[in-house]
Amino acid sequence: MTEIIVQDWYSLCKTLAETAAWKMARENGLDLVTLHPGLTIGPPLQPSLNLSCYTLLILIKEGIQFLPSSVYRYVDVRDVALAHIAAILLQTADTAWLGGNICGAPEDRPTKLLYQISRERAESLGISFRPLEDTLKDSVECFRDINLITL
């Protein structure tokens, strides 16, 4: 039997960078706040597509069904931006917010949750998170407006 090792350099780099940031903050008496959103999707603002936008575009173009929110925790990029602003304004240092099950699965296709991450800390930022359907609709409209898809 052959073992396949999946190398997720992106996640490793994010983890190492955050670990270094917490260490630097501790050593220098700095306040630090981190947010840990789920899979961040939504309409792009930048002129070129990043990996998340490209992946979303391919899923939409190919008609591939989205994985249920029990597998991936989707969150709208606009909500992540608002969460960053709220975290700064609240000035709650030495805190991390985890965003899980934010957009959720469509109500007509409930899924079995494999695990549950509390949204309490994310909700303490005072943000109303967009439903997945709204994020996808806005993304499709944006992709259409910049001529990446035709409907």
Looking at the annotation, which residues are catalytic? 14
How far is 88 from 124, CA to CA, in rounded Å? Answer: 13
Count the Cβ atoms, other than its own, within 10 Å of residue 23: 11
Residue 110 CA, chain-centre distance (Å), reads 20
State both tokens at 98: 């985890």
In whole angstroms, what is the distance from residue 22 CA to residue 31 CA?
9
DSSP 14-33: HHHHHHHHHHHHHHHT---E
Q: Is 46 left (phi over 0), alpha (psi -120 to 50) or beta?
A: beta
What residues pair up with 34 in beta bridges, in sequence order?
96
